[in-house]
Amino acid sequence: MNNSVLPIIMAGGSGSRLWPLSRQLNPKQFLALGNTDESMLQTSINRLENLNLLNPLIICNEEHRFIAAEQLRQLGNNDSSIILEPVSRNTAPAITLAALHSIQNGNDPFLLILAADHHIENNKAFEAAVSNAFKLASTGKLVTFGIKPTHPETGYGYISMGEELEYGGYAVRSFVEKPDASTAQKYIASGDYLWNSGMFMFKASHYLEELKKYHVDIFNACEKSLNSCSTDSSFIRIDSDSFKSCPDISVDYAVMEKTTSAAMVSLDAGWSDIGSWSALWAISDKSDSGNVLKGDILAHDTNNTYVHSDNRLIATVGIDNLIVIETKDAVLIAHKDKVQDVKKIVDQLKINGRTEHLLHREVYRPWGAYDSIDKGERYQVKRITVKPGAKLSVQMHHHRAEHWIVVSGTAKVTNGENTYLVTENQSTYIPIGQVHALENPGVIPLELIEVQSGSYLGEDDIVRFEDKYGRA
């Protein structure tokens, strides 16, 4: 392996089957799942440390940009760029953006396409497969990684293996859709089918050449959107209108099923896409009773069960094969055999106009976080934490007034024409329509209680005039 390989980590997706932990504005790739305190994105980046690759390029939804940037900062990675997708358009456009960006300034790296939400148990086996994929891609192949199946899974697509190639690779005979149970059993029995991982390795220019043969509309839309991009710190903001015209299609459909250059390497490394609560239970460390217990849990006569508590004591008695998930604003109880249907609950939340699928009660912002601890018809109470040196936008509200009570630290408050400090046990009042801002000038976190009152308390009642995070 050499440093001509650019890792592309795709961090889109909503992870709705892992609700209520995974939310639209804080999906599973940014959560610490399994047996680690790192997020799945951070684990995906750290998995590459022994391969001597270029700094990874991250692709994520614009709504997730601050979470992604903060998690890179926590790793000490300040050199990676983040391409922001204004809308989701599936894997083919995302990979095309990465390929076009990578060939700028006369470069032409090999691209290692990875997902931010995959679990891999055996890192040595992963590194060996990446090395084989690089060698195979160097011969002009578009390489995909096929996962050696452990059971007849109906939730994955499959790849049919063709003739054996050099470097432990195989030609790709065909890609097949997610099968029913009997078909999956036949695939496993034949030994000729591997799970489709959605990971790839190929030279950037070769991928773009093949794409133009079969889907020049994707190439043109992505090229136009990138030609009109702007750079803001580590963020690459593409042109929204151009990208919205791009077809919504996977790289399998757009290129891999059509090209004559498709090849595959086998990966047997304890892989999982953690696409459900039962999949997360399967890869987690368990007790002698087969339980995975996260948080404040008391379990009696409980077996083969996953219990997660964010805030309070959960006690279980006489249960088996269940999933129990508690967050500040929701509780999920499901049988392990039915967890694929969690998405139907998320769909129901959307239909009913609720917000529990969008965000948690505690919401992270680039300046800190807020927790909506109480809410009534004309009032809302939030606990706000502002990082040292951080500042909220200069803003105004049409429908609500705000009272701020400082609990710890010091607040620098702009209230109309006046700017002043508010310290512990002091408070201030922001009238409706008043232009205001909140800043932490100190070296410790600022914590305050905000009491909002008014006829409308939605987050969209914010008119920003100035913002250091590019949201104005």
CATH number of the domain to which 390 belongs: 2.60.120.10
Exposed / middle / buried, residue 44 (Cβ in 10 Å: 0-12, 13-18, 19+):
buried
**Are residue 57 and residue 196 in the same domain, yes or no?**
yes
Summarize the confidence of residues 366-390 as an average pLDDT: 95
Q: Which residues contact 83 (CB under 8 A, 6 or more apart)?
A: 57, 58, 59, 60, 94, 97, 98, 101, 236, 238
**Are residue 61 and residue 94 in the same domain, yes or no?**
yes
**Are residue 43 and residue 154 in the same domain, yes or no?**
yes
Number of domains, the chain: 3
Single residue among 326, 350, 374 that ends a domain in this structure = 350
Summarize the confidence of residues 420-443 as an average pLDDT: 97
Q: What's this model's pTM, rounded to 2 decimal places? A: 0.89
**Are residue 299 and residue 262 in the same domain, yes or no?**
no
Domain membership of residue 310 (yes or no) is yes
Distance (Å, whole) CA 262 – CA 206: 11
Q: How far apart, in Å, are the Cα atoms of 26 and each of 21, 67, 335, 358?
A: 9, 8, 24, 8
Given a cut of 70, whether residue 23 has pLDDT beyond it is yes
With beta carbons less than 8 A apart as the criterion, state whether 24 and 358 touch: yes
Provide, rounded to the nearest whole percent, the portion of the chain with pLDDT above 70: 99
Residue 218 belongs to what H/E stretch?
helix 216-227
pLDDT band at 369 (very low <50, low <70, confident <90, very high): very high
Residues spanned by the domain of 413: 362-466
Given a cut of 90, whether residue 461 has pLDDT beyond it is yes
**Are residue 43 and residue 159 in the same domain, yes or no?**
yes
Q: What is the pLDDT of residues 27-68, one digit of tens each?
A: 999 999 988 889 999 999 999 999 999 999 999 999 999 899
**Are residue 288 and residue 265 in the same domain, yes or no?**
no
Distance (Å, whole) CA 90 – CA 451: 41
Distance (Å, whole) CA 325 – CA 286: 16
pLDDT of 154: 87
pLDDT of 79: 86
Given a cut of 90, whether residue 15 has pLDDT beyond it is no
pLDDT of 2: 56
pLDDT of 470: 77
Average pLDDT, the chain: 94
Higher pLDDT, 78 or 61: 61
Summarize the confidence of residues 101-108 as an average pLDDT: 92
Distance (Å, whole) CA 29 – CA 78: 19
Q: Which among 56, 86, 65, 57 has a CA at the least distance from the CA of 225?
A: 86
pLDDT of 469: 83
**Are residue 249 and residue 129 in the same domain, yes or no?**
yes
**Are residue 220 and residue 314 in the same domain, yes or no?**
no
Q: What is the pLDDT of residues 296-311, one digit of tens each?
A: 999 999 999 999 999 9
